[in-house]
Amino acid sequence: MADKRLDEATNTETVGHEWDGIEELNTPLPRWWLWTFYATIVFAIGYVIAYPALPGISQASEGMLGWSSRGQLDAEMSSAAATRAKAVAGLADLPIEQLPQHPQLMRAAVAGGAAAFKVNCVQCHGAGAAGSKGYPNLNDDDWLWGGDLKTIETTLIHGIRQPGDDATRISLMPNFGSDGLLDAGQINDVAGYVLSLSGKEKKSAATQRGAQIFADNCAVCHGDNAKGNRELGAPNLTDAIWLDGGSKAEVAAQIHHPHHGVMPAWGERLDPVTIKMLAAYVHSLGGGEEFAAPVAAEAPAADAAQETD
Amino acid sequence: MNKPVQIKAQEPPVSLYAKREPVFNRRIDGKFRRIKWAIMALCLAVYWITPWLRWDRGPYAPDQAVLIDLAHRRFYMFGIEIWPHEFYFVAGLLIMAGIGLFLVTSAVGRAWCGYACPQTVWTDLFQHVDRLFDGDRNARFRLYKAPWTASKIARRLAKWSVYLAISFATGGAWIFYFADAPTLHQEFWSGTAAPVAYGTVLVLTLTTFVLGGFMREQVCIYMCPWPRIQTAMLDEKSLIVTYKDWRGEKRGSLKKAQKNPEEYGDCIDCNQCVAVCPTGIDIREGAQIGCITCALCIDACDRVMAETGRPRGLIDYATLEDAENEKAGNAPTRHMKLIWRPRTILYFCVWAAIGLGLLFTLGTRVHTGLTVAKDRNPPYILMSDGSVRNAYTLRLRNMQGRPRDMEIAIEGLPGAVMWTEDMAREAAARSLVRKVAADATQGVRVYVVAPAGSTDQSFDFSVQAVGEPGEADSSQAKFDTPGGE
Ligand code: SF4
Ligand code: SF4
């Protein structure tokens, strides 16, 4: 029998083990502790039986309850769809111009549009809709084809220069350089003139010559005052915004052999409600035009205490 | 230790697990028992009544005096309403509770454990139920040993149903802190309350039933972390329940003591102190982790001392230092003197400082708030006339129980104006007024446009409740331009 005795300080029996003067006291765990441990094992076995758990070659065991993460996802997706449907009910029948009269619906549409934008539009226009060279920035107030709700919706449905869509809008700027309509010196002059309109280039003899070239070749589309023509998607050349770059070389390159962007016709791929929501979102980015008088003074519904910080 | 330990080859197997020894504590009456009844009654009354108290907050806020409104993330406590961003109040209260425990422990030992801890309150209550059904200590022990006859089963089932009923009424009542109590009460019984309410009641009833009805002292000894911390908090100046061994030893029956008064001390070895102990320990073995300082053994021993005509206090509240003092034959120190010493005073000061800090913050807080988040993508937008636009999402906070008009304004950023999504751009201005619903926040996306040639700079958004000077807040924001880095 090992050297069993009572520990002086605690009056507890020792088990007889000692290391460097430290003795092990016999302090048994309560038995319910053991049973609790057994219960967790039983629970784990039950869990493995009830839920998918055991890995197989191609698939895990299915579990008795028939639960699967995919099934749960489906359920959540359809409940989200139902919620969305409720929020935008009526959007299908509402002409988009009347949307601002329904602030509640408008808010829901903008929110839905933001989500749809992330799926369909960011590839070209960027996550913040700021575009990039050749791809319009949708936040600014410069619109090639028009920036009111209705026009944005039309652009979304039929696209721009979309082959196969009868209602798509097409405009093609001639290849002034590559087709030999203007020589390099003329192109340089007219580029200088165009830049001088927004103060980016000083007026000079060259811009004088460019003005004449512009009047002869460009004014037909861009207008006598170069303010553009939305019927033709001809950009305003007097403002600060340059779709294809505002340096002289970039402007000259565009005159030499213009780049023509293509916007897909989303009417073939997205349902009308989604398109309306996208239009509302794009319009809401800060450059939207013809926003019918400030929305009724109705106090915006407190976006509820739920979504507090 | 130099002595080599010999381990014999054949050791009898020792079980690593100990069966629980049930505690059948005797009924006792006395000063501390009565204090315990009073505290139990007070605790349960406060717990039950609180959710039913009303507090008029006007039409826009609930009228329950104490309400933890999880759905709307508000905490109401009489005139105080805590918002999620003010969680530091709750954190502060928790820290105060922690330091309060330190304070109490270093001053009067485990008073929390002995009197106010819910586990103690419930154990006490359930032990009383045991006595009602099974009789006092001996009868209960006999019944425990008795075979499972029909009558024993019936008695057990009856007792357990009472356990359950109490657990339901006490544990379950917790849900009333989370919703309007009268409404929830009505919904609960008509079966229309939220499933989470039933789930919570079920869980709390079962945990109360198991922990109070069956686990009892096991919770204190094995599951609760507090005793372990407390042992570190106690020192030789903390008031704890102490058996004065120099006076009691050597133990002997009355008869023996009469025959041989010199040899025997005051303890007549009647075991009453052990019999009444709710955790089933023997305090005469010295201070130990199982003792929750409920002082029932003091009541029991005082009674024995009175019967044997000896002075009370063989078991008593005493500090270790004082016990030594008394042992040496000096007069005991007054308890009040023991409680106030540098350590407890320090704890008290820290505790009070946090409390005052919280009160000060509470008194000076503003019920108007503003946070600003700037659009990062894109950071700026060049407009066709060369001006630059940045977008911000403002969140206006109205922490008042009525709708208020709030004026947002730009401070700094020369020449800049702003507008929002739902107004015409032409109406852009330096300041806007928005109506914010009662006790709510409102998000406002604003576009700020600054003239061509503006540079990167910081400016402020300010918000001010219209007509309420002082009710204002501001938040700094950055303005980015194409020229900036
Ligand atoms: S109750 Fe008092 S006298 Fe009786 S055994 Fe305990 S300490 Fe001794
Ligand atoms: S030893 Fe005394 S004070 Fe400690 S728990 Fe038991 S009865 Fe209560």
Gap from CA of B151 to ligand 2 centroid (Å): 33
B3 within a domain of the structure (yes/no):
no
Q: Do B377 and A130 touch (CB under 8 A)?
A: yes
B288 within a domain of the structure (yes/no):
yes
Q: Give residue A302's pLDDT.
A: 43
On whether A256 is known to bind a ligand per the annotation, the reply is no
Domain that holds residue A202: 184-256
Contact (CB, 8 A) for B16 and A28: yes
User: Does A9 contact B at CB distance below 8 Å?
Assistant: no
pLDDT tens-place string over residues B26-44: 999 999 999 999 999 999 9
Look at chain A and report how many structural domains it folds into. 3
A140 within a domain of the structure (yes/no):
yes
B10 within a domain of the structure (yes/no):
no
**Averaged pLDDT, A298-304:** 44
Closest-CA distance, A269 to chain B, in angstroms, reads 27
**Is B56 in the same domain as B194?**
yes
Q: Which of A287-296, B163-172, B267-276, B428-437 has the lowest mean pLDDT?
A: A287-296
Which of A222 and B15 is assigned the larger pLDDT?
A: A222
Gap from CA of B311 to ligand 2 centroid (Å): 20
Closest-CA distance, B39 to chain A, in angstroms, reads 31
**Is A208 in the same domain as A276?**
no
**Averaged pLDDT, A174-183:** 94
Nearest ligand, measured from the Cα of B298: 2
**Is A159 in the same domain as A129?**
yes
**Is A270 in the same domain as A161?**
yes
Measured from the Cα of B284, ligand 1's closest atom is 7
- Amino acid symbol at B135: G
pLDDT tens-place string over residues A136-158: 999 999 999 999 999 999 999 99
Here the CATH number for the domain that contains residue B470 is 2.60.40.10
**Is A106 in the same domain as A40?**
no
Residues of A in contact with B219 (CB under 8 A): none
Residues of B in contact with A129 (CB under 8 A): 378
**Is A124 in the same domain as A271?**
yes
A301 within a domain of the structure (yes/no):
no
Tell me the C-alpha distance between A6 and A3, whole Å: 10
Measured from the Cα of B251, ligand 1's closest atom is 8
A176 within a domain of the structure (yes/no):
no
Domain boundary among B211, B230, B249: B230
Look at chain B and report how many structural domains it folds into. 3
Here the CATH number for the domain that contains residue A207 is 1.10.760.10
Gap from CA of B284 to ligand 2 centroid (Å): 10
Q: Which of A131-140, A233-242, A263-272, B249-258 has the lowest mean pLDDT?
A: B249-258
> What average pLDDT does the structure give for chain A?
88
Residues of B in contact with A140 (CB under 8 A): 381-384, 389
pLDDT tens-place string over residues B307-358: 998 999 999 998 888 888 888 888 877 777 777 888 899 999 999 999 999 9
Gap from CA of B318 to ligand 1 centroid (Å): 17
Residues of A in contact with B13 (CB under 8 A): none
Respond yes or no on whether ipTM tops 0.85.
Answer: no
Q: Which of B458, B456, B476 is nearest to B380 (CA)?
A: B456
Domain that holds residue B142: 31-230
**Is B58 in the same domain as B186?**
yes
Q: Give residue A26's pLDDT.
A: 82
Q: Do B424 and A141 touch (CB under 8 A)?
A: no
Q: Give residue B485's pLDDT.
A: 53
Confidence of residue A5 (pLDDT cuts 50, 70, 90): confident
Tell me the C-alpha distance between A70 and A52, whole Å: 12
**Is A156 in the same domain as A274?**
yes
Three-state helix/strand/coil letters over chain B: CCCCCCCCCCCCCCCCEECCCCCCCCCCCCHHHHHHHHHHHHHHHHHHHHHHCECCCCCCCCCECEEEECCCCEEEECCEEECHHHCHHHHHHHHHHHHHHHHHHHHHCCHHHHHHCHHHHHHHHHHHHHHHHHCCHHHHHHHHHCCCCHHHHHHHHHHHHHHHHHHHHHHHHHHHHCCCHHHHHHHHHHCCCCHHHHHHHHHHHHHHHHHHHHHCHHHHHHHCCHHHHHHHHCCCCCCEEEECHHHHCCCCCHHHHHHCCCCCCCCCCCCHHHHHCCCCCCHHHCCCCCCCCCCHHHHHHHHHHHHCCCCCCCEEEECHHHHHHHHCCCCCCCHHHHHCCHHHHHHHHHHHHHHHHHHHHHHHCCCEEEEEEECCCCCCEECCCCCEEEEEEEEEEECCCCCEEEEEEEECCCCCEEEECCCCHHHCECEEEEEECCCEEEEEEEEEEECCCCCCEEEEEEEEECCCCCCEEEEEEEECCCCCC
A236 within a domain of the structure (yes/no):
yes
Contact (CB, 8 A) for A282 and A113: yes
Q: Give residue A303's pLDDT.
A: 45
Q: Whose CA is nearest to atom 2 of ligand 2?
A: B297
Task: Indicate the residue of B17, B422, B442 with minimum beta-carbon distance to A29.
Answer: B17
Residue A294 pLDDT greater than 70, yes or no: no
Residues of A in contact with B397 (CB under 8 A): 308-309
Contact (CB, 8 A) for B173 and B48: yes
pLDDT tens-place string over residues B78-115: 988 899 888 899 899 999 999 999 899 888 888 999 99
Domain boundary among B307, B333, B359: B333
**Is B427 in the same domain as B480?**
yes
pLDDT tens-place string over residues B106-150: 888 889 999 999 999 999 999 999 999 999 999 999 999 999 999
Tell me the C-alpha distance between A4 and A9, whole Å: 15
List, chain by chain if needed, residues with CB within 6 Å of any ligand 2 atom. B 241, 276-279, 281, 283, 291-297
**Averaged pLDDT, A227-235:** 93
**Is A146 in the same domain as A97?**
yes
List, chain by chain if needed, residues with CB within 6 Å of any ligand 1 atom. B 248, 267-273, 284, 300-301, 304, 314-315
Strands A22-25 and B404-411: unpaired
Q: Which one of B277, B285, B315, B316 would you pick to mutate in the ligand 1 pocket, going by the greatest count of ligand atoms within 8 A of its CB?
A: B315
Residue B15 pLDDT greater than 60, yes or no: yes
Domain boundary among B230, B260, B275: B230
**Is B190 in the same domain as B149?**
yes
Predicted model pTM? 0.75
User: Does B71 contact A at CB distance below 8 Å?
Assistant: yes
Closest-CA distance, A69 to chain B, in angstroms, reads 23
